[in-house]
């Protein structure tokens, strides 16, 4: 891996940062126009709306990305902005910071043209754009991984500089406090350092101990309030055998390629595979080590953990995969003229933006159409009403609108899916029933979606 010292790039950097404009505008645009998602609504109802103390002590589900919840307890007081945008604005800012950190990292340890390319492409991959505005902790997750990776590269440049280890430790602690599954990133980054320097150093041991102790202290309020089981119950619920998890890895990797990129997994797999072949032929040990550790470690960690998590747990791999794909060509990219490289990158960004715009509306309609379709229905039924939901996970989106629009005297009865006839229900104003479970014969459907029927039971 070619390590370059500090250089003065002047107007080249200023002009090249144009590659950040499209991603930034995209995150602001979609942050404004797209309705609240289920996870955002759930986070608001259970943490942001209940205040700082609840956010740092209550962990009923992995939905509580604590550091993000804490930040939204501040941004919710920003005047004049719509409520949802107040919750999303921190993710938009954090995403922009991630692009800056990524640019600085690649510029320092590779070359400035490579930095343009990595930032331009990775910032417009589907999952990166999606979580660049979504009021969840994944934008922070991405920022802290990139920052810790930056520190790891600096450590490899000089393992004796204490400042680099301190920054590495701080970013890992912040990542873990955002989402506990940052543990995977922490292990992968430490493996990258260990394999690169071929020995365990005292500084790395001290860093690991410091991260463990600091993370324990930060989560101590949760453990005292909800018990340590609140942090581990998701792992127990989704646990599987070692061999079952191992057999899932090929398909899981294809899911990573597909969901992170937003394009067909085959195309992305070919790009990564060909780049790995080129790296192997070049025999650049440092580049090969980086690619090997980043690509192989998830397949080792997850079976050992007996778990196959949601792909979004590895959302920070957008930058990693693009960097690996471009590594064999770093010298060629570095020699390209600015007037050639930047227009090409902008064309790629535009194509990825068109792809995102096409994919995101389908993505938001999954899970019983709880986001975009729900946003069209809720205004027709909102009020101080009694609601019955039979397996229709609209409860969080509905309650978000009820709270933010000032309604207080409402009641939502959510039931796990079961066959039901609305003809027998009373005491409710509206009933939401999945079509495959709807046994109603007499009641007239008030509104219908692809997944469920809505009945107006009360005449008031």
- Residues 193-237 have pLDDT tens digits of 999 998 888 999 999 999 999 999 999 999 998 888 777 776 666
**Residue 341 vs residues 15, 254, 299, 345, 436: alpha-carbon distances, Å:** 12, 29, 35, 6, 53
**Sheet order of strands, 386-390 included:** 411-415, 386-390, 430-434, 452-456, 445-448
The reported pLDDT for the residue numbered 4 is 46
Judge whether residue 12 has pLDDT over 80. no
pTM over 0.85: yes
Least confident residue range of 117-121, 218-222, 407-411, 424-428: 424-428
- CA distance linking residue 221 with residue 217, whole number of Å: 8
The reported pLDDT for the residue numbered 282 is 84
Query: Per-domain residue ranges for the chain?
Result: 11-236+337-364, 369-456
The reported pLDDT for the residue numbered 13 is 54
Structure tokens at 400: 């978000």
pLDDT level of residue 368 (50, 70, 90 thresholds): low
Exposed/middle/buried for residue 124 (C-beta within 10 Å: 0-12, 13-18, 19+): buried
The reported pLDDT for the residue numbered 327 is 94
Distance in Å from the first CA to the final CA of the chain: 71
The reported pLDDT for the residue numbered 16 is 60
Mean pLDDT across 439-452: 88
The reported pLDDT for the residue numbered 3 is 43
């Amino acid at each position: 891996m070619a390590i370059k010292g500090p250089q003065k790039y002047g107007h080249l950097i200023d002009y090249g940062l144009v590659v950040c404009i499209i991603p930034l505008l995209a995150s602001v645009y979609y942050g404004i126009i797209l309705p609240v998602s289920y996870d955002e609504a759930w986070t608001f109802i259970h943490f942001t709306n209940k205040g700082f103390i609840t956010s740092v002590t209550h962990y009923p589900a992995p939905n509580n990305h604590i550091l993000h919840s804490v930040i939204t307890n501040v941004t919710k007081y920003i005047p004049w902005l719509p409520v949802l945008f107040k919750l999303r604005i921190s993710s938009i800012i954090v995403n922009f910071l991630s692009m800056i950190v990524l640019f600085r990292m690649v510029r320092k340890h590779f070359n400035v043209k490579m930095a343009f390319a990595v930032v331009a492409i990775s910032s417009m991959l589907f999952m990166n754009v999606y979580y660049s505005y979504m009021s969840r902790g994944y934008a922070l997750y991405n920022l802290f991984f990139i920052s810790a990776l930056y520190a790891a590269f600096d450590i490899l440049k000089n393992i004796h500089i204490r400042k680099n280890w301190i920054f590495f430790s701080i970013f890992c602690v912040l990542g873990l406090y955002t989402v506990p599954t940052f543990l995977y990133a922490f292990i992968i980054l430490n493996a990258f350092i260990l394999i690169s320097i071929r020995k365990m150093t005292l500084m790395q041991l001290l860093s690991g101990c410091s991260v463990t102790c600091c993370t324990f202290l930060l989560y101590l309020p949760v453990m005292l309030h909800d018990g340590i089981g609140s942090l581990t119950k998701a792992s127990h619920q989704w646990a599987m055998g070692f061999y079952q998890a191992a057999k899932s890895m090929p398909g899981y990797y294809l899911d990573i390629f597909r969901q992170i990129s937003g394009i067909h997994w085959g195309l992305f797999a070919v790009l990564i595979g060909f780049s790995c072949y080129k790296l192997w032929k070049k025999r650049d040990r440092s580049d090969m080590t980086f690619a090997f550790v980043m690509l192989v470690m998830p397949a080792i960690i997850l079976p050992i953990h007996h778990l196959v998590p949601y792909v979004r747990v590895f959302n920070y791999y957008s930058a990693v995969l693009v960097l690996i794909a471009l590594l064999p060509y770093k010298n060629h990219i570095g020699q390209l003229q600015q007037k050639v490289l930047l227009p090409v990158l902008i064309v790629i960004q535009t194509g990825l933006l068109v792809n995102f715009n096409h994919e995101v509306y389908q993505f938001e309609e999954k899970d019983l159409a709880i986001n975009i379709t729900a946003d069209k229905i809720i205004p027709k039924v909102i009020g101080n009403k009694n609601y019955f939901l039979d397996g229709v996970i609209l409860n969080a989106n509905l309650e978000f609108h009820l709270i933010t629009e000032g309604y207080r005297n409402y009641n939502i009865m959510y039931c796990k899916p079961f066959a039901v006839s609305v003809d027998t229900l009373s005491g409710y104003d509206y009933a939401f029933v999945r079509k495959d479970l709807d046994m109603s014969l007499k009641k007239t459907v008030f509104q219908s979606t692809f997944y469920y029927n809505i009945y107006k039971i009360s005449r008031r």
